[in-house]
Amino acid sequence: MHLAKHNSKGPVTGNTMKTNRPSLNVILGANAVRAFVAAPKEFKVIGIVRMSYEFGLLAIAPSGNYVRVNGSQIESLDNGDVRMAIQNFMSHVRERNRRLS
């Protein structure tokens, strides 16, 4: 089961509940990635991913799979987990925008 989490002191994130894997949070958008170094040119950076205490760029590899880029390390992510976290992120953004309008 996946939940969306919003922290009023920070950005909206989408995350997964605790499982055997670390929780996965995403923050989408160009403004989210300014603090990070660039990913290899063949990757499309779409945001930030956080798994437990580890952060990295959320990117799409040339193969179409989601990856976390952290310096020279590239880690494959579970595509289903990332898609669910992205859906939760987008749902929470829509809800926040609805409340603000």
Q: Residue range 8-20: average pLDDT?
A: 43
The letter for the amino acid at 12 is: V
pTM assigned to the model? 0.68
Residue range 66-97, pLDDT digits in tens:
999 988 899 999 999 999 999 988 998 899 89
Q: What's the total number of domains in the chain?
A: 1
Q: Which of 31, 86, 44, 2 shows the shortest CA–CA distance to 94?
A: 86
Residues 16-38 pLDDT 10s: 433 456 678 788 876 665 655 67
Q: Which two tokens stand for residue 24?
A: 């996965």
Nearest in space to 43 (alpha carbons), one of 87, 77, 13: 77
The pLDDT of 37-63, averaged and rounded, is: 89
Residue numbers of the domain that contains 58? 2-100
